[in-house]
């Protein structure tokens, strides 16, 4: 009897796993993000196959970030970049009134919300939508469309880094509810201010108001407490990855990150679009020119709550929006 019991217990004992899928279950300590390189068939169809989609979803759960390379044609980025660099220089010329986040080297800057600059591969990228839908559920809500520009230092000034922070500087669910789709308009490198990212900090005890200093709306809100930064560095430190032009970076809104100094002479623009879960009651709306209405209404992947305004009004107001943590990404009751 005893022998039988021992044998069956042995049979039930977990076997030492050796497969790749098992390895994936252990938390990674790599500081570099996972980069998915879609096949030419996946690029043609605008859909990742099962294996790459699994990898993207797993990276978002485990690391809070995934990079997908080669999904946007460079010419779709270049025209928008030329315009946004001109706009960034205009904003910089506003001096102390410029819309900066944490320090004057990092501008909050919307793209022009008009048909001439709207490429579907940039703003409604099908692979980005497939991944955010896979994680958040059908028809994520797109209610924020802006950008962050790391400016070359002005003469006589030292470029500054942002404090490590989370953009989720409000009470929020402890499970995924919002993803930021970042589109770099040029290649990002440590020299031009590639965003510093702290993988794996989007969940558990590392996430929530308890890890943050500052109140929502302060320029310093969302800042991660210093002792936690030191502790986390021992486990899984930060990195400033090189991101190839044409990539998208999808990041859990809760992840710790920081805008970094741009030591080059070229403005570094990164678009930032937030997809909220379909059930998440964020009341924000986009403001878009009427000439985009048919483009937006002919797609069915995202909910896009928008105020439609005349082209002239759209052009007049897009450089005059909120910044810092003046946006409210929270949800209503
Ligand atoms: O520009 C960047 O790389 C990041 C900016 C950022 O995180 C912010 O302004 O909240
Ligand atoms: Fe941020």
- Domain containing residue 291: CATH number: 2.60.120.620
- The pTM of the full predicted model, rounded to 2 decimals, is 0.92
Query: For all residues of the chain together, what is the average pLDDT?
Result: 91
Instruction: Flag whether 106 is in a domain.
Output: yes
Say which residue the tokens 């706009």 belong to.
Answer: 87
pLDDT at 218: 65
Give the mutation target among 108, 152, 162 for probing the ligand 1 site: most ligand atoms within 8 A of CB.
Answer: 162
**65: containing domain:** 30-326
Instruction: Flag whether 105 is in a domain.
Output: yes
Instruction: Flag whether 267 is in a domain.
Output: yes
DSSP three-state, residue 182: strand
**174 token code pair:** 């402890």
- Characterize 277-313 residue by residue with b for buried, 16 or more Cβ atoms within 10 angstroms of its Cβ, and e for exposed: beebebebebbbbebbeeebeeeebbebebeebeeee
Q: pLDDT tens digits for 45-77?
A: 999 999 999 999 999 999 999 999 999 999 999
Please state the domain count of the chain.
1
The mean pLDDT of 7-32, rounded to a whole number, is 57
Query: Which residues lie at CB < 5 A from ion ligand 2?
Result: 167
Does 270 sit in the ligand 1 pocket, CB within 6 Å? yes
Does 272 have pLDDT greater than 80? yes
Q: Which atom of ligand 1 is nearest to the CA of 101?
A: 9
Does 195 sit in the ligand 1 pocket, CB within 6 Å? yes
Quick one: pLDDT band at residue 9, thresholds 50, 70, 90?
A: very low
Alpha-carbon dihedral angle through residues 131, 115, 109, 225, given to the nearest 10 degrees: -20
Q: In sequence order, what DSSP letters do the residues of 140-168 get, joined into one string?
A: -EEEEEEEEEEPPPPTT----PPPPB-S-
Quick one: pLDDT band at residue 221, thresholds 50, 70, 90?
A: confident
Instruction: Flag whether 304 is in a domain.
Output: yes
Say which residue the tokens 């962050």 belong to.
Answer: 148
Q: Higher model confidence: residue 20 or residue 194? A: 194
**232 token code pair:** 């986390």
Does 150 sit in the ligand 1 pocket, CB within 6 Å? yes
Distance from Cα 27 to the centre of ligand 2, integer Å:
24
Does 268 sit in the ligand 1 pocket, CB within 6 Å? no
The mean pLDDT of 293-319, rounded to a whole number, is 97
Q: Which atom of ligand 1 is nearest to the CA of 257?
A: 7
Distance from Cα 253 to the centre of ligand 2, integer Å:
9
Does 3 have pLDDT greater than 80? no
Of 147, 150, 236, 237, nearest in space to 189 by CA = 150
The mean pLDDT of 121-132, rounded to a whole number, is 98
pLDDT at 15: 47
Instruction: Flag whether 9 is in a domain.
Output: no
What letter does residue 240 receive in the DSSP assignment? -
Q: Higher model confidence: residue 39 or residue 221? A: 39
Q: Where are the alpha helices (DSSP H) in 71-214?
A: 74-92, 120-123, 126-136
pLDDT at 323: 72
pLDDT at 26: 65
Does 148 sit in the ligand 1 pocket, CB within 6 Å? yes
Does 17 have pLDDT greater than 70? no
């Amino acid at each position: 009897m005893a022998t039988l019991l021992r044998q069956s217990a042995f049979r039930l004992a977990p076997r030492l796993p050796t497969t790749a899928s098992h390895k994936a279950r252990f938390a990674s300590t790599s500081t570099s993000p996972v980069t998915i390189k879609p096949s030419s068939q996946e690029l043609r169809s605008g859909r990742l196959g099962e294996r790459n989609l699994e990898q993207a979803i797993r990276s978002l759960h485990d690391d809070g970030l995934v990079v997908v390379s080669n999904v946007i044609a460079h010419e779709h980025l270049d025209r928008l970049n030329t315009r946004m660099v001109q706009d960034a220089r205009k904003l910089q010329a506003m001096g102390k009134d410029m819309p900066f986040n944490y320090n004057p080297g990092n501008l909050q800057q919307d793209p022009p919300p008009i048909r001439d600059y709207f490429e579907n591969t940039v703003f409604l990228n099908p692979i980005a939508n497939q991944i955010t839908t896979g994680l958040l559920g059908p028809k994520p809500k797109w209610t924020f469309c802006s950008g962050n520009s790391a400016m070359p230092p002005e003469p006589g000034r030292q470029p500054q880094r942002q404090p490590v922070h989370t953009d989720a500087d409000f009470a929020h669910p402890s499970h995924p509810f919002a993803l930021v789709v970042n589109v770099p308009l040029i290649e990002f490198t440590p020299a031009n201010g590639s965003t510093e990212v702290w993988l794996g900090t989007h969940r558990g005890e590392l996430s929530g108001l308890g890890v943050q200093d500052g109140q929502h709306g302060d320029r310093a809100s969302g800042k991660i407490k210093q002792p936690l930064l030191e502790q986390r560095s021992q486990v899984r430190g930060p990195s400033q990855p090189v991101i190839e032009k044409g990539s998208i970076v999808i990041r859990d809104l809760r992840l710790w990150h920081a805008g970094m100094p741009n030591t080059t002479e070229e403005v570094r623009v990164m678009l930032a679009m937030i997809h909220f879960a379909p059930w998440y009651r964020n009341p924000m709306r986009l403001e878009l020119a009427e000439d985009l209405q048919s483009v937006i209404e002919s797609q069915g992947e995202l909910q896009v709550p928008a105020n439609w305004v005349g082209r002239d009004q759209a052009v007049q107001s897009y450089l005059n929006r909120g910044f810092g943590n003046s946006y409210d990404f929270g949800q209503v009751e």
